[in-house]
């Protein structure tokens, strides 16, 4: 039997015994450190040497010393022992959610502040959990979450479907965005009626469906009919069109994080419009890191997670 085949029979216990004897160079002291008697310790070393086919220790009645093979083997034994301990720690962390990976989907608006805040907090509280980021529009987020391709999503809306949990992370007001040269920019608040027949940039009914439906619904309830001049799917594009002077728009307050020069924001005087962002996940999953992220990073109580 060659050395490689003999080495396969080695046990971590034998490596630990050898490492302690090599450090102490005394079987009695080594046995005491290991919490065992000297004869079983000697037997473990003998078995290890038989499996390796070489002497690791020179011993006589007065002293113990390492052979050349023993000195070489000690380096590898220590590495294997350290590696096995690290593997055990990693396994325990993974089982408790302290290590692993989650894939987080998010909308563009969530990236202005909420998503980065969560990632920073995750790195602080769960440094061994890797967070992979995927930016998508809201309908795509829901589809990929249901398909199991995302662990969690930051989204405005979810389909009415069983098996999905959601938690309200943020509720923000909707504001009027207008060019700083617009006559209404001098107002502290803008009444919804002030948008009547005014050039207006609207969210797309497909890519920006959530905001499109909320804005159009509020305008219809107030019997306000702006002059729709252009539509766009993403908030940054809407603001760019506003800055160009095409018209006003109603956008979430988080849009201010873009700090687009030439655009100002004013609250609506007579309408409490808001937008929500939810953190959503599948109720049935097998990722302990996700539970740790939901509880420790997002601050969701375990009852809500379960």
What are the 10-residue block averages of pLDDT along the chain, 306 residues in total?
A: 46 88 89 90 89 88 86 87 74 65 92 93 93 90 92 88 90 95 95 95 92 94 95 94 97 93 93 90 91 92 64
Is the same domain home to 281 and 262?
no
Domain's final residue, options 46, 70, 95: 95
Determine the Cα–Cα distance for residues 129 and 96; give it in Å rounded to an integer.
Answer: 11
- Quote the pLDDT of residue 3: 40
Claim to verify: residue 147 and residue 214 sit in the same structural domain: no
- Phi, then psi, of 59 in degrees rounded to 5: -135, 145
What pLDDT is attached to residue 77?
87
**Are 289 and 160 members of one domain?**
yes
Query: Could you tell me if 286 and 163 lie in one domain?
Result: yes
d(CA 30, CA 138): 63
Q: Do 51 and 5 meet the contact criterion of CB atoms below 8 Å apart?
A: no
Which pLDDT value is given to residue 123?
Answer: 94
List the domain range (segments joined by +) for residue 108: 99-169+276-305
Answer yes or no: pTM beyond 0.75.
Answer: no
**Predicted pLDDT at 5:** 39
Handedness of CA 253, 256, 258, 263 (dihedral sign): positive
Shared domain for 155 and 288, answered yes or no, is yes
The pLDDT value given to residue 82: 83
Looking at the fold, whether 128 and 59 belong to one and the same domain comes out as: no
Domain containing 247 — which CATH number?
Answer: 3.40.190.10
Count of domains observed in the chain:
3
Select from 63, 95, 127 the last residue of a domain. 95
Same domain membership, residue 141 and residue 12: no
């Amino acid at each position: 039997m060659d050395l490689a085949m003999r080495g396969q029979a080695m046990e971590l216990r034998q490596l630990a015994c050898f490492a302690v004897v090599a450090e102490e160079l005394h079987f009695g002291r080594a046995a005491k450190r290991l919490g065992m008697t000297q004869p079983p310790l000697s037997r473990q070393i003998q078995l290890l040497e038989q499996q390796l086919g070489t002497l690791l220790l020179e011993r006589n009645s007065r002293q113990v010393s390492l052979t050349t093979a023993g000195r070489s083997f000690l380096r590898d034994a220590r590495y294997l022992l350290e590696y096995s301990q690290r593997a055990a720690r990693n396994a325990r962390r993974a089982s408790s959610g302290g290590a692993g990976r989650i894939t987080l989907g998010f909308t563009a608006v969530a990236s202005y502040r909420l998503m980065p805040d969560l990632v920073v907090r995750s790195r602080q509280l769960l440094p061994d959990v890797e967070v992979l980021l995927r930016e998508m529009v809201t309908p795509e987020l829901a589809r990929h979450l249901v398909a199991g391709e995302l662990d969690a999503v930051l989204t405005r809306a979810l389909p009415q479907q069983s098996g999905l949990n959601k938690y309200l992370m943020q509720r923000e007001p909707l504001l009027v965005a207008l060019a700083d040269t617009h006559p209404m920019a001098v107002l502290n608040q803008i009444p919804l009626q002030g948008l009547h027949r005014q050039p207006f940039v609207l969210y797309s009914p497909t890519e920006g469906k959530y905001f499109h439906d909320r804005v159009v619904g509020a305008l219809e309830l107030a019997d306000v009919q702006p002059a729709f001049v252009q539509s766009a799917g993403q908030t940054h594009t809407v603001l760019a069109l506003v800055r160009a002077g095409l018209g006003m728009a109603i956008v979430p307050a988080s849009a201010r994080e873009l700090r687009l020069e030439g655009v100002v924001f004013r609250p609506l005087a007579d309408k409490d419009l808001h937008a929500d962002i939810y953190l959503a996940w599948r109720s049935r999953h097998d990722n302990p890191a996700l539970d740790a992220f939901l509880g420790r990073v997002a601050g969701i109580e375990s009852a809500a997670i379960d």
